[in-house]
Amino acid sequence: MSEFRLRTLELIDAGRQLYQMGLVPATSGNLSARMSDGTLAVTVSGRHKGKLCEDDIMQVTATGQSLDDRRPSAECLLHVQIYNRIPDARVVLHPHSINATLLSRLRDGALVLQDYELLKAFPGIDTHHCEVRVPIFNNCQDIAHLAAEVDAGLSGKEPGYLIRGHGFYTWGNTVEDALRHVEAFEFLFECEMRLTGLKQ
Amino acid sequence: MSEFRLRTLELIDAGRQLYQMGLVPATSGNLSARMSDGTLAVTVSGRHKGKLCEDDIMQVTATGQSLDDRRPSAECLLHVQIYNRIPDARVVLHPHSINATLLSRLRDGALVLQDYELLKAFPGIDTHHCEVRVPIFNNCQDIAHLAAEVDAGLSGKEPGYLIRGHGFYTWGNTVEDALRHVEAFEFLFECEMRLTGLKQ
Amino acid sequence: MSEFRLRTLELIDAGRQLYQMGLVPATSGNLSARMSDGTLAVTVSGRHKGKLCEDDIMQVTATGQSLDDRRPSAECLLHVQIYNRIPDARVVLHPHSINATLLSRLRDGALVLQDYELLKAFPGIDTHHCEVRVPIFNNCQDIAHLAAEVDAGLSGKEPGYLIRGHGFYTWGNTVEDALRHVEAFEFLFECEMRLTGLKQ
Amino acid sequence: MSEFRLRTLELIDAGRQLYQMGLVPATSGNLSARMSDGTLAVTVSGRHKGKLCEDDIMQVTATGQSLDDRRPSAECLLHVQIYNRIPDARVVLHPHSINATLLSRLRDGALVLQDYELLKAFPGIDTHHCEVRVPIFNNCQDIAHLAAEVDAGLSGKEPGYLIRGHGFYTWGNTVEDALRHVEAFEFLFECEMRLTGLKQ
């Protein structure tokens, strides 16, 4: 099987799993994988990420230029920025979750996570006794501008980031790694939302 | 396959999806599609919308008159009003959700949604930086009266509306469009409910 | 197929549906059906209601006496009381839900439901503009005593009742009717719980 | 089938059920079974507990020493402590749930559960009118130290315990017993979290 087809099937299955978790409602969210030649497999714009078929994944250059006549997901440049910035990232997932949407509106600048055992699901973290800072960027429809803001605001050590009122981005070396980060983030976001409610 | 049978199968599948999302509990909610001759395929009164079979979808005239001896869903006239008012509407879905039931009781006149990226799931919206006004109508068992209230209160630009303590109506040119609007509304309703809780 | 086997298969499927809704955790809850000769098909004590097999349903007399050497669910006498009191009841379901457990601890005497369209899912109700009173009985391990309390406290018009910290009972002429009442109650209980949270 | 393979298949299915309940996100949680010769079948470190295959369960000695070249789950010594302390325990499950994570951060010393009918799901409890004390231990990455803390803090009568910001441990004589305790704990934790929210 071609590398493109293999990545395509992985992304279709990842989308199905994200949808079952309620993380890609309507046609929100987008998914991509970096191939060995540097090109990307990415979702076609406007498709339902929970019900993807092979025709819904397209190939773009390392800079996000379409290699056929179709248009990739609007946020394709955000995927490109991550691949450029994080050498180990070979899969990028952008879930559009309720918890991420709300927390990114309720917090300023960053969400700080600490004293959760599940933080160990993120790379390089081996104790709950630490602080993980998840940057929050203001939403913007000019994706090139937003990508530049993200590039300036990322330290490169974060396991992901939030876009205000929009959702979050996370990545991994494999689709399993990226999905593990999604599950960990959603768990932690839900914990933070509930604690915020109790702090009223 | 006849157009009626095709629409029927689409509505059966849509009902199943709505039920899995918890949006048509008991025998609540109703679904319809407009056919090319102007007649409607609509759910028969009292059937469980999550477990529809072909016999649970019937045909009515453009004004909602039964074309056989069965009775359509009580709110059939609300579907008729939408088809008359919105030329592009070819599928109308009425989910009966907890979030819609509560928000419609907690807000006056209308629910205003803004700064959500997911608003772009609605037709004609290309930025989160906008205001979407979802009218709320008082519930009434006189459906002809309620339909007139809705007709007077709709601008025709809204992607849907709420009925107090009852649920919401949304529509689309295809069943996929209408389901996308349902998923977007539910996501946004849940966000608004949680923010309302935090504002206490 | 014998009437007992038919009822057994219906109860197995009802238990599976209740479990998927999260309403019979651990081995809680119980289910029964009244047969044409007045005897009851009821769950055997201690079985997991979401994973019932034919061997988990037994036959008891109209007064709850085992017709074999097994013991029926502890609350069997509560089912007997309902069948004696409500002539139309042919299926009784006792889900053990979080919402019912909490509301029954938070309210005194009764839970009053009004202005919900979904109230129409209950027999004899044709408008949201009404009051449905759901009695709450104190929990008690002496089931004969509890059954007498219920019998004294029921008007016979309610679609169900709550036991404090325990769950709820509802019934119907068919398993579909009883399950419709379960779905309606859970929806309304969840609405009431969320409104209670907002009223803080 | 060998006893090890039988236990392995039971743990694979238990992990799948826990994942469907949302109790083992990312690669959190761990599961084990004690065999008749005293050795343990336990999950291999870092595997996704909701998607286990036979290769993800390994055999360790009664003291937790690997019997092959693989490493068991980090918390293996906590399983060993339970098997040493609780003679009847033949299956130990460690779900990593949101409710357990939050309650263990919100309560001091112990979570006290009372007046819930579902408490009867735990061994030796035959009435809701009692108090079940669930100890809370501070999280610690030194598992030998944590195991000693747990051993000192357990009375041996509890159906399980919490680790702060981490999750909970429960056990049973069979996998069905242990899963029943998980379902009961999660139900009760959710009840306590919601009541805590209302008490604000």
pLDDT tens-digit readout, D129-166: 999 999 999 999 999 999 999 999 999 999 999 999 99
Q: Does D170 touch chain A (CB under 8 A)?
A: no
- Check C26 against D127: CB less than 8 A apart: no
Nearest to A25 among B176, B183, B197 (CB): B183
The pLDDT tens digits of the residues spanning B14-45 come to 999 999 999 999 999 999 999 999 999 999 99
Q: Does B131 touch chain A (CB under 8 A)?
A: no
Q: Write a three-state SS string for chain B.
A: CCHHHHHHHHHHHHHHHHHHCCCCCCCCCEEEEECCCCCEEEEECCCCCCCCCHHHEEEECCCCCECCCCCECCCHHHHHHHHHHCCCCCEEEECCCHHHHHHHHHCCCEEEEECCHHHHHCCCCCCCCCEEEEEEECCCCCHHHHHHHHHHHCCCCCCEEEECCCEEEEEECCHHHHHHHHHHHHHHHHHHHHHHHHCC
Chain A residues in contact with B200 (beta carbon < 8 A)? 200
Chain D interface, best mutation among C28, C47, C190, by max D CB count within 10 A:
C28
- pTM for the whole thing? 0.97
Handedness of CA B143, B144, B149, B153 (dihedral sign): positive
Chain B residues in contact with C184 (beta carbon < 8 A)? 25-26
The 3-state DSSP composition of chain D as helix, strand, coil percent (nearest 5) reads 40, 20, 40
Q: Does B167 touch chain C (CB under 8 A)?
A: yes
Q: What is the extent of the structural domain holding A166?
A: 3-199
* Angle separating helix axes B98-106 and C175-198, nearest 10 degrees: 40
Per-residue pLDDT of chain C (200 residues; tens, 9 = 90+): 999 999 999 999 999 999 999 999 999 999 999 999 999 999 999 999 999 999 999 999 999 999 999 999 889 999 999 999 999 999 999 999 999 999 999 999 999 999 999 999 999 999 999 999 999 999 999 999 999 999 999 999 999 999 999 999 999 999 999 999 999 999 999 999 999 999 75
CATH code: domain of residue B106: 3.40.225.10
Per-residue pLDDT of chain A (200 residues; tens, 9 = 90+): 999 999 999 999 999 999 999 999 999 999 999 999 999 999 999 999 999 999 999 999 999 999 999 999 889 999 999 999 999 999 999 999 999 999 999 999 999 999 999 999 999 999 999 999 999 999 999 999 999 999 999 999 999 999 999 999 999 999 999 999 999 999 999 999 999 999 75
ipTM associated with this complex: 0.96
- Check B165 against C200: CB less than 8 A apart: no
Chain B residues in contact with C93 (beta carbon < 8 A)? none
Q: How far is C90 from chain B (nearest CA, A)?
A: 18
Chain B residues in contact with A96 (beta carbon < 8 A)? 117-118
Residue of B nearest to A99 (CA): B191
CA distance B93 to B15: 9
Distance of CA D26 to the CA centre of its chain: 17
Chain C residues in contact with D190 (beta carbon < 8 A)? 98
- Check A27 against B181: CB less than 8 A apart: no
- Residue whose C-alpha is closest to residue B32's, from B87, B75, B69: B75
Q: How many domains does chain C contain in total? A: 1
- Check C117 against B163: CB less than 8 A apart: yes
The pLDDT tens digits of the residues spanning D59-113 come to 999 999 999 999 998 899 999 999 999 999 999 999 999 999 999 999 999 999 9
